[in-house]
């Protein structure tokens, strides 16, 4: 129903403006999952996915995940529709990227579809209501039935030399609400952000965040910190990132963010691909797989990986798991394929014996 009826209607909204479709979907899901009586029937229909999308649970980072398929950061930055995602079968949800200060993001249009390539280009620029607003929403909502990750980024108004304090402030505001925290230093859409992946700057940032997490834990086990890396790093640069992560007690890696490459874009999509921003979706898949393989080969079980990038079917998810990922996340594939993709992946995982090296 999604690909034949709902997706074509959404893609026509706003004259084809992808962000209009995104906002319309979030508003509808927020209303449905918030208990709007007018939409009870629709919610009852969609909620059946929670019973049909189960896979074997697993424990990663000390957290029990009911299944390995998560919603990637970016789809629900401010947590507006949080109760909806577990109902679609997701085993965990990541909100954000959130910044210490509220910010509108980059000028519109800033989200572009490449349908023939199964891809998107975005230059959203961390548009969000800020860490305090997200904390208020999460406090009102209470705990989800699945783990919640929170992706942290640098505020655009914050100079790079003050980035550490900016991230630490967001962690402090949101600490009690997240099951894990992703440190986003790899978005191409905030000026200078990717320089925080450099060895010295990353070491300072992760050292401060790790110390803050230990302080906030107050004698308990600190909430896990993960680092989200760019797919465009050289092997040497990525190895340095992994070494810094290990040195500062980082729990894992999210591989990968969007890419600046346009390799794999086909046909009429090439014209749209000239837009500035990060590319996600099918053309990114092989590149993301290589990063996952590299991290798994270099770090093994010491830095478990969440694999994200171009997963558009169950086969793609299994390849990511075989490459060494412990969990996977969906973003662009979910936009193009809808909730059925979550169910297909979980069914495939529950029926397949997989392991590193088979992908």
Query: Catalytic residue numbers?
Result: 187
DSSP H stretches of helix in 175-218: 199-217
DSSP H stretches of helix in 123-247: 131-141, 163-174, 199-217, 235-247
Do the annotations mark residue 76 as ligand-binding?
yes
Do the annotations mark residue 75 as ligand-binding?
yes
Nearest to 303 by CA among 249, 223, 258, 229: 249
Quick check: 313 and 238 in contact, CB under 8 A? no
Do the annotations mark residue 221 as ligand-binding?
no
Phi, psi values for residue 106, rounded to 5°: -80, 165
Do the annotations mark residue 123 as ligand-binding?
yes
Do the annotations mark residue 126 as ligand-binding?
yes
CA distance 335 to 3: 10
Do the annotations mark residue 346 as ligand-binding?
no
CA distances from 59 to 91, 107, 304, 321, 347 (A): 12, 41, 11, 15, 19
Do the annotations mark residue 170 as ligand-binding?
no
Do the annotations mark residue 195 as ligand-binding?
no
Q: Which tokens is 182 given? A: 């992703």
Helical pair 163-174 and 199-217, crossing angle rounded to 10 deg = 30
Do the annotations mark residue 127 as ligand-binding?
no
Do the annotations mark residue 49 as ligand-binding?
no
Residue ranges with strand state E in 81-168: 92-98, 111-114, 119-122, 148-152
Do the annotations mark residue 88 as ligand-binding?
no
Do the annotations mark residue 310 as ligand-binding?
yes
Do the annotations mark residue 74 as ligand-binding?
yes
Q: How many CA atoms lie within 13 A of 39 on its CB side?
A: 14
Do the annotations mark residue 332 as ligand-binding?
yes
Binding residues for substrate: 77, 122-126, 184, 189, 257-258
Binding residues for FMN: 73-77, 97, 151, 184, 228, 256, 281, 310, 331-332
Binding residues: 73-77, 97, 122-126, 151, 184, 189, 228, 256-258, 281, 310, 331-332
């Amino acid at each position: 129903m999604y690909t034949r009826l709902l997706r074509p209607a959404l893609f026509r909204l706003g004259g084809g403006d992808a962000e209009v479709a995104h906002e319309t979907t979030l508003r509808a899901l927020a209303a449905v999952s918030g208990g709007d009586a007018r939409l009870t029937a629709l919610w009852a229909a969609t909620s059946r996915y929670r019973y049909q999308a189960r896979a074997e649970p697993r424990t990663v980072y000390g957290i029990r995940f009911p299944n390995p398929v998560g919603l990637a950061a970016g789809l629900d930055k401010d947590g507006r529709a949080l109760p909806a995602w577990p109902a679609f079968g997701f085993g965990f949800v990541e909100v954000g990227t959130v910044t210490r200060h509220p910010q509108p993001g980059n000028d519109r249009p800033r989200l572009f579809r490449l349908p023939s390539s199964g891809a998107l280009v975005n230059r959203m620029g961390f548009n969000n209501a800020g860490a305090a607003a997200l904390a208020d929403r999460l406090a009102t909502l209470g705990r989800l039935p699945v783990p919640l990750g929170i992706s942290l980024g640098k505020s655009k108004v914050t100079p790079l030399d003050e980035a550490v304090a900016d991230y630490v402030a967001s962690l402090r505001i949101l600490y009690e609400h997240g099951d894990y925290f992703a440190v986003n230093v790899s978005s191409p859409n905030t000026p200078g952000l990717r320089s925080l992946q450099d060895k010295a700057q990353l070491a300072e940032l992760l050292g401060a965040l790790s110390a803050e997490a230990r302080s906030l834990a107050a004698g308990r086990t600190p909430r896990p910190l993960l680092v989200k890396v760019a797919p465009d790093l050289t092997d040497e640069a990525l190895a340095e990132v992994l070494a810094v992560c290990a040195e500062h007690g980082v729990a894992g890696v999210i591989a990968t963010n969007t890419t600046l490459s346009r390799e794999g874009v086909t046909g009429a999509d090439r014209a749209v691909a000239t837009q500035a921003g990060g590319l996600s979706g099918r053309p990114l898949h092989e590149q993301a797989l290589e990063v996952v393989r590299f991290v798994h080969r270099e770090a093994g079980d010491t830095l478990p990986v969440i694999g994200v990038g171009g997963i558009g079917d169950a086969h793609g998810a299994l390849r990511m798991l075989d490459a060494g990922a412990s969990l996977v996340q969906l973003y662009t594939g979910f936009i193009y394929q809808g909730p059925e993709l979550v169910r297909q992946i979980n069914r495939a995982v529950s029926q397949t014996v997989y392991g590193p090296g088979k992908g």
